[in-house]
Amino acid sequence: MQAWDRFRQVIQDRHGYAREWKARTGGRLIGYFCSYFPEELAYAAGVLPVRILGAHEPQDLSEQHIFTMYCPYCRDCLAQGLLGRYDYLDGIGTGHSCMHIRQTFDSWQRHLSPTYSYYVFVPAHVQTPRAHPALVMELEDFQASLEVWTGHPITPQALDGAIEVYNTNRRLMRQVYELRKRELPPLSGTEAMERVLSSQMMDKAEHNRLLKAALPELSAREGVRGGFRLMVLGSENDDTELVRLFESLGAQVVIDDHCTGSRYFWNEVEPGADRLAAIASRYLERPPCPQKDLVERRRLVHVRRLVEDYRVQGAVLIQQKFCDPHEYDMAPLQDLFKEYGIPSLRLELDTTLPVGQFRTRAEAFLEMLQLEAV
């Protein structure tokens, strides 16, 4: 099987992959909700972290457990647990995130009774000098908790190994995304999204082997001439159909900015003698989500760099319905694109509904880009 087909297969059968991995290795699995969860520590403990994501299906199971005015994404994630689709998990974890994901984690704890759960407090105000020592102490407590759960210590060598596996994956994914800067990108936005989503479901060591084998072929692949170069950014988005919709209309999605996309892997852990301090620095200095982007708006600086590096011609700003942090972010992002003279389209999503409802708006947006280019 080709590496690219394997990535797609894992996305389509993520639960089958996890069960097979568990049967083959005898290892434990921990599901996590937020990309601020420090996966390296779990991996160093011999536990495989897998991202808990929704299934994009209409459901009403979560209404008894979580407010209906919370975003569809978090309610979809909770529904997957209530449906028993993550029954193979040995535990759950999350990093301090938005209120909606926090409530999802709490409800999962209360109603599904996992044998192990851990909430890592990642400071919301990452820009304060006190954030780093606070997170280091949190990681120390998390490490101690993992050691009790697994019954063995996490050695410095195990931490070094986990950091290297994760850094290698981030480095390889950056190489994949570098190819999208080309005038004729050799892969579509949908294909790129499949690479990064599968990395959140697979053992990183296996994902690394597949990426290493596939990158030379991908780099040599002839690019396909496409239409306008689009950037997709905003709330969590693991729905490849949205990207596929725009590309089916002739556009090229050349870059994204999501916690399920580029923000997940963008920066590495800088190895140091104090491993936990190095891991803490990585998570505090990563491209921030709006929930952790105050007082200084550092996220806008990162988005500007992406716009310039990937020669963006149009932007699609997506907001999961009721997503307060990203709604707060919309106005400054729209102003940023106006400053560059880049048209933008804002879409409010319900991840449990088909994206085909946006086809007419997508067509109109691309027609507008065409008229402005004349």
Q: What is the DSSP string of 312-337?
A: --EEEEEEETT-HHHHHHHHHHHHHH
What angle, rounded to 10 degrees, do the helices at 240-248 and 359-373 form?
A: 50
* pTM for the model: 0.95
CA distance 197 to 8: 9
CA distance 136 to 131: 9
Give me the amino acid identity at 115. T
Residue 209 CA: distances (Å) to CA of 44, 203, 265, 295, 323: 19, 10, 17, 40, 36
| Host H or E run for residue 28 | strand 28-32
Q: Which tokens belong to 71? A: 């975003």
CA distance 134 to 123: 8
DSSP-based three-state secondary structure for 173: helix
65-95 exposure pattern, b = at least 16 Cβ within 10 A, e = fewer: bbeeebbbbbbbbbbbbbeeebebbbbbbbb
Vertex 114, ends 111 and 116: CA angle to 5°?
Answer: 140
Residue-level pLDDT, tens digit, the chain, 374 residues: 477 789 999 999 999 999 999 999 999 999 999 999 999 999 999 999 999 999 888 777 888 888 888 888 999 999 999 999 999 999 999 999 888 999 999 999 999 999 999 999 999 999 999 999 999 999 999 999 999 999 999 999 999 999 999 999 999 999 999 999 999 999 999 999 999 999 999 999 999 999 999 999 999 998 877 789 999 999 888 888 999 999 999 999 999 999 999 999 999 999 999 999 999 999 999 999 998 998 888 999 999 999 999 999 999 999 998 988 888 899 999 999 999 999 999 999 888 888 888 999 999 999 999 988 76
Query: Which domains are seen in the chain, by residue range?
Result: 3-151 (3.40.50.11890)
Which residue has 């994206």 as its token pair? Answer: 355
What angle, rounded to 10 degrees, do the helices at 72-82 and 99-112 form?
A: 10
CA distance 323 to 70: 7
